[in-house]
Amino acid sequence: MSVADLRQKYGKFELLESGMAATPFEQFTTWFSEALQAGVPEPNAMTVATLGPDLHPSARIVLLKGFDDRGFVFYTNYESRKGQELAAHPRASLLFFWQPLERQVRIEGRIEKTSAEESDTYFRSRPLGSRIGAWVSPQSRPITRETLEQRTAEMTASLGEDPPRPPHWGGYRVIPHYVEFWQGRPSRLHDRVAYQLQENGNWVLQRLAP
């Protein structure tokens, strides 16, 4: 079978404007809860797309670590490639794909760093190995496996059981102006309903052609 012949039939659910919440945050909460209940693997896994100083786009999978009506939060090394790109262009696009439910969510917005207190709180909640790893890894830079293992051994010995958060590591919040909910439908006539933020702070709901 060729790649061109690979197809997935959709049609489990439908998405109607009349059944959607007043804000994208409420709607996301509903869909995220349903993804959890359905046992979707890593429902908080999302593609984060950024724009480099050279205007070349790049994307990678990152884990969502919090969301509310302020935005969507993830954590990373501020000196990594994505950190440098967000410093140059503080905008990002997020994409969730929950295949068992035949759903996608697209989020576009501006970026701001979370507060030091918020980053500290999350950092302390991480497993010890992950906290040490944040100190060990010069993320996105060339390194050998041997060097990484040596740094891990050295940092494990020096940092102890309660390492503080590295100054180069913390959170980002995506503050959306556009959120699109996509539901797979038969014959590729998918449901696409988008929330667009208006200047007055209200959200406008609009159906898009598939």
Report, in angstroms and rounded to the nearest whole number, the Rg of the chain calculated over CA atoms: 20
Is residue 147 a part of any domain in this protein? no
Q: How confident is the model over 35-56, as pLDDT tens digits?
A: 999 999 999 999 999 999 889 9
Q: How many domains does the chain have?
A: 1
Q: Which pLDDT belongs to residue 148? A: 93
Q: Which residue range forms the structural domain that includes residue 189? A: 9-126+167-208
Q: Residue 93 — pLDDT band, cuts 50, 70, 90? A: very high
Query: Of 70, 124, 141, 188, which residue is the catalytic one?
Result: 188
Q: How confident is the model over 153-168, as pLDDT tens digits?
A: 999 999 999 999 999 9
Is residue 158 a part of any domain in this protein? no
Q: Is 165 a catalytic residue?
A: no
Whichever domain contains 202, its CATH number is 2.30.110.10
Q: Which pLDDT belongs to residue 51? A: 96
Is residue 74 a part of any domain in this protein? yes
Q: Which pLDDT belongs to residue 1? A: 80
Alpha carbon distances (Å) from 193 to 32, 41, 154, 189: 16, 24, 51, 13
44: Cβ contacts below 8 Å, ≥ 6 apart = 32, 63, 64, 65
